[in-house]
């Protein structure tokens, strides 16, 4: 349970920003009509929409022995981890994952965030990547197939980065694709979130301290580590596990795509439901983690020689691993207020993600290939950790909402409270009118 809301530390906030006349001119008369809301949402979506290599000889060409392939799966995340804190202190939202979290809370209403999070983190790349890797596997050139995979994927990533750099505005207030009237309306449209949309508030250390004291944040971090361990296993070793069922190289990459399809369809379906039915996110978080756990148990216990199809079905069921992550991230965006606290949570979630992805590959011992009992056991633990953290998060949110309603009453004037948030940069703890989504 959160402690009492605390007073805002005026010494740590920018008073000139707090009285910004740009915010003062927004009022309820600017609330968009349903048609205007659809137009604003469409414009926002248009702008924000901007391990197969191992199968194709990477291990052989690089002469990887023993756990060296596992270290290859981990080493990328050492660089990922090393740059998170410079991103926090210097450019705040440069890293991909923190950027997505802040974009969600800055551009979308609470009820719109789960589906957009599913789009950010959809597994279409797993489906398309398997098909594309199959096609790349048929390239006849001077380079090894795995080199073509990295060259093509890397080139597209760099190109996309430059497009985003120049096309994506800092906030709705500076969006080049909104008219001046639309800029005002989009601020009012998002005001009920009470999480703020100004990404240039002054750094406030008190908000970091608050995050470290907030038990909900620890649930988010636990889920992030659990997801990353599962993700490391699926990303780096899923094709190798499937190859162990006796499929050829090219057949393996195709057989790996249904798992990504399961994750994509499950994520899209459940987040669409949550768009129309409120406060189901924790339920879907928990349920999908338990479904993924059942798949991991099947892979761990079934005899491949006698029950290959059932064991392969377990691999596909583990595709639910992505769904708890999507709902956790959307809840983190919806329930975290305060500019510094949002940025801190974005970076620390990315740190958990990198840490889990460093740990995960080391649990897949080369001596245990292709069944990897220790690695699959670690994934079972990861799914269980995601489920338990989701349960704890749900209980904390429900209890705190009940406490606040009892003490302060059911909040009214949510729009005005949201506009005040733009002026004062309160956190979710400090804002007495804030109620948590779950």
Which class for 369: exposed (0-12), middle (13-18), buried (19 or more C-beta within 10 A)? middle
- What does the pLDDT read at residue 304? 81
Question: pLDDT band at residue 41, thresholds of 50, 70 and 90?
Answer: very low
State the Cα–Cα distance between residues 168 and 171, nearest whole angstrom: 9
What confidence score (pLDDT) does residue 48 get? Answer: 38
Q: Is the pLDDT of residue 4 over 70?
A: no
Q: What was the pLDDT predicted at 209?
A: 96
Please determine, for residue 89, whether its predicted confidence score (pLDDT) is greater than 50: no
Neighbours of 284 (CB within 10 A): 22
Q: Compute the distance between CA of residue 185 and CA of residue 269 in angstroms, rounded to an integer.
A: 30
> Of the candidates 189, 262, 232, which has an alpha carbon nearest to the alpha carbon of residue 26?
189
| pLDDT on residue 288 | 97
**Residues contacting 226, CB < 8 A, separation 6+:** 289, 324, 356, 381, 382, 383, 384, 385, 386, 389
Q: Which residue ranges make up each domain of the chain?
A: 11-424
Band (pLDDT 50/70/90 cuts) for residue 286 is very high
Residue pair 235/73 in contact (Cβ under 8 Å)? The answer is yes
Taking the C-alpha atoms of residue 298 and residue 250, their distance in angstroms, rounded to an integer, is 25
Digit-coded pLDDT (tens) for 159-183:
877 887 787 777 777 778 788 877 7
pLDDT, tens digit, 9 for 90 and up, residues 370-420: 888 999 999 999 999 999 999 999 999 999 999 999 998 887 766 666 566
pLDDT band at 52 (very low <50, low <70, confident <90, very high): very low
Give the pLDDT band of residue 60 (cuts 50, 70, 90).
low
Region of poorest pLDDT, from 15-29, 30-44, 84-98:
15-29
Q: Residue 413 burial (CB < 10 Å; 0-12/13-18/19+)?
A: exposed
With H, G, I as helix, E, B as strand and everything else as coil, classify residue 404: helix
* CATH hierarchy code of domain 11-424: 1.20.1250.20
Predicted local confidence at residue 377, as pLDDT: 95
Q: How is 227-267 classified by DSSP, letter by letter?
A: HHHHHHHHHHHHHHHHHTTT--HHHHHHHTHHHHHHHHHHH
pLDDT tens figures, 63-88: 556 555 566 556 666 665 665 555 54
Residues 197-238 pLDDT 10s: 565 567 889 999 999 999 999 999 999 999 999 988 887 777
CA distance linking residue 435 with residue 130, whole number of Å: 42
In the predicted model, is pLDDT for residue 194 greater than 60? yes
What is the predicted pLDDT for the residue at 139?
76
Model pTM? 0.70
Task: Give the CA count within 13 Å in the CB-facing half-sphere of 18.
Answer: 13
Please say whether the beta carbons of 321 and 383 come within 8 A.
yes
Q: Is 1 exposed, middle or buried (0-12, 13-18, 19+ CB in 10 A)?
A: exposed
- The whole-angstrom separation of Cα 435 and Cα 295 is 35
User: Helices (H), strands (E): how many in the chain?
Assistant: 22, 0
412 token code pair? 């009214």
pLDDT, greater one: 289 or 84: 289
Please spell the DSSP secondary structure of 20-89, one letter per residue: -HHHHT--GGGPPPHHHHHHHHHHHHHHHT--HHHHTTHHHHTT--TTHHHHHHHHHHHHHHHTHHHIII
For 49, the token pair is 């929409």
């Amino acid at each position: 349970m959160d402690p009492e809301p605390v007073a805002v530390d005026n010494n740590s906030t920018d008073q000139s920003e707090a009285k910004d006349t740009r915010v003062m001119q927004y009022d309820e008369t600017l609330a968009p009509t349903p048609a205007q809301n659809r137009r604003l949402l469409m414009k926002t979506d248009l702008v924000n929409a901007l391990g197969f290599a191992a199968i194709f000889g990477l291990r052989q060409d690089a002469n990887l022995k023993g756990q060296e392939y596992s270290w290859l799966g981990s080493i990328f995340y050492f660089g990922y981890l090393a740059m998170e804190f410079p991103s926090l202190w210097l450019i705040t939202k440069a890293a991909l994952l923190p950027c997505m979290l802040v974009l969600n809370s800055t551009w979308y209403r609470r009820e719109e965030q789960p589906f957009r999070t599913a789009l950010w983190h959809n597994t279409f790349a797993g489906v398309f990547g398997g098909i594309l890797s199959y096609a790349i596997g048929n390239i006849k050139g001077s380079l090894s197939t795995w080199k073509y995979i990295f060259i093509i994927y890397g080139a597209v990533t760099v190109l996309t980065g430059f497009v985003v750099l120049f096309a994506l505005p800092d906030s709705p207030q500076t969006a080049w694709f909104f008219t001046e009237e639309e800029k005002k309306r989009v601020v009012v449209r998002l005001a009920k979130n009470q999480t703020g949309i100004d990404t240039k508030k002054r750094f406030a250390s008190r908000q970091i301290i608050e995050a470290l004291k907030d038990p909900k944040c620890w649930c988010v971090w636990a889920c992030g580590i659990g997801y990353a361990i599962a993700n490391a296993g699926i990303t780096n070793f899923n094709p190798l596990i499937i190859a162990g069922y006796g499929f050829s190289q090219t057949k393996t990459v195709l057989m790996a795509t249904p798992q990504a399809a399961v994750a994509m369809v499950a994520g899209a379906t459940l987040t669409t439901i949550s768009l129309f039915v409120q406060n189901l996110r924790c339920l879907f978080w928990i349920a999908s983690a338990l479904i993924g756990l059942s798949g991991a148990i099947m892979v761990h216990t079934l005899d491949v020689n006698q029950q290959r199809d059932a064991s392969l079905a377990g691999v596909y069921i583990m595709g639910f691993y992505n769904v708890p992550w999507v709902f956790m991230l959307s809840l983190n965006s919806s329930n975290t207020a305060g500019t510094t606290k949002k940025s801190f949570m974005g970076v620390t979630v990315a740190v958990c993600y990198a840490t889990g992805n460093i740990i995960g590959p080391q649990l897949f011992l080369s001596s245990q290939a292709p069944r990897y009992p220790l690695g699959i056991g670690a994934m079972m633990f990861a799914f269980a950790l995601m489920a338990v953290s989701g349960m704890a998060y749900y209980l904390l949110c429900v209890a705190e909402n009940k406490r606040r309603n009892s003490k302060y009453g059911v909040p009214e004037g949510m729009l005005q409270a949201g506009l005040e948030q733009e002026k004062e940069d309160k956190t979710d703890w400090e804002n007495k009118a804030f109620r948590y989504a779950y």
